Structure 1
Amino acid sequence: MDVHPLIRHAPDPEHPGWWSWELAAEDRFNAVIGKLLVRADGPGRAVCRMFPEVRHSNLGDMVHGGALLTFVDMALFAGGRLAGADVVRAVTLDLSTRFLAPGRIGVPLDAEVELLRETKRLAFFAGRVVQEGELIAHFSGALRKMSKEVR
């Protein structure tokens, strides 16, 4: 599978069935999430997993909404790619998230991503963030594919 050249994507030995989605450089914003894992979950579907740490918390000791939004945005790309979308080079066009419950620190969060439709220039997704079976957030988003040229 062709992923972005700055992303290391390989089986994760600590989590059988999961693949890493790791930045080759720690100086990019994406590194704020920390360890990110991905796996395909059937045709047009994938799951991304993050491991919330204290650095992802708000003053109420829950996962900060900004950390959840960052995770969801990254899940559109990583999960979208494993769901079959050609989003190696894309930008977020739209992202809508509804928070339904607080996320807990120290318990993995999963973003279940579904590819709804893909066109030549766009990819549309929907999904949910769950933690130990509890629905934490629901999201939908669209990515706009970029030309191969960097502008």
Structure 2
Amino acid sequence: MTKASFIHQPDPDNPGWMTWELSDPTRFNSLLGRMMVRLEPDGQARVRMFPQHVHSNLSNNLHGGTILAFIDVALFAGSRLFGLIEAGTAVTLDLSVQFIGAGRVGEPMDAVVEVLRETGRLLFLRGLVVQGDHKVAGFSGTIRKPTSKPDAE
């Protein structure tokens, strides 16, 4: 029996939220820290991270790379919440981000993700990154869904 790629279970400290954590803490996503996900009543997915000092730049705001990485992870977390992919070998084909305002350390940051269209192989998504009422970034991206068997190398 293979180990699941993600730990995705109810968060005991946050009713209505699920954990979103790699089962292997030595992989990239773990650099973002603790994350949670939930489906919103309007059908959008909300992915939350908790920015810390390690995610900041020299201006004491969130580093743009942190925000970009968070958005990329949120595309996949949202797609899984929608039941459109399983965790695994899907890939980002494109990601467009418009930075709107500085992200703040020490305040939960959410990516609110919605599906624009699904085809046989692709998912087209968009969303906003927010901290409360403060908009941090807008984004759109395309994911290629995994094949039934891994690509030959």
Shared fold per TM-score greater than 0.5: yes
Gaps of 5+ in 1: none
The structural deviation recorded for 1:149 is 1.5
The structural deviation recorded for 1:145 is 1.1
In structure 1, what is the equivalent of residue 62 of structure 2?
63
Aligned residues: 148
In structure 1, what is the equivalent of residue 25 of structure 2?
26
Q: Measured at CA, do residues 87 and 119 of structure 1 come closer, stay the same or move farther in structure 2, by a change above 3 Å?
A: farther
In structure 2, what is the Cα distance between the partners aligned to 1:100 and 1:79? 21
Larger deviation: 74-83 or 134-143?
A: 74-83
In structure 2, what is the Cα distance between the partners aligned to 1:71 and 1:124? 17
The structural deviation recorded for 1:42 is 3.6
In structure 2, what is the Cα distance between the partners aligned to 1:5 and 1:44? 26
Q: SS of the counterpart of 1:47?
A: strand
The structural deviation recorded for 1:5 is 2.5
The structural deviation recorded for 1:21 is 0.6
In structure 1, what is the Cα distance between the partners aligned to 2:83 and 2:127? 15
In structure 2, what is the equivalent of residue 75 of structure 1?
74
The structural deviation recorded for 1:7 is 0.3
- Cα deviation digits, residues 72-106 of structure 1 (max 9, x gap): 00000001221332353310001000001001100
In structure 1, what is the equivalent of residue 53 of structure 2?
54
What is the letter of the counterpart of residue 36 of structure 2? L
Q: SS of the counterpart of 1:61?
A: coil
Q: SS of the counterpart of 1:101?
A: coil
In structure 2, what is the Cα distance between the partners aligned to 1:142 and 1:5? 24
In structure 2, what is the Cα distance between the partners aligned to 1:87 and 1:25? 17
In structure 2, what is the equivalent of residue 128 of structure 1?
128
What is the letter of the counterpart of residue 9 of structure 1? H
The structural deviation recorded for 1:148 is 2.4
In structure 2, what is the Cα distance between the partners aligned to 1:54 and 1:128? 22
In structure 2, what is the Cα distance between the partners aligned to 1:5 and 1:119? 26
In structure 2, what is the Cα distance between the partners aligned to 1:52 and 1:16? 21
Gaps of 5+ in 2: none
What is the letter of the counterpart of residue 140 of structure 1? S
In structure 1, what is the Cα distance between the partners aligned to 2:26 and 2:14? 25
- Are 2:114 and 1:114 equivalent residues in the alignment? yes
Root mean square deviation of aligned Cα: 1.4
Percent identity between matched residues is 49
What is the letter of the counterpart of residue 147 of structure 1? T
In structure 2, what is the Cα distance between the partners aligned to 1:102 and 1:25? 30
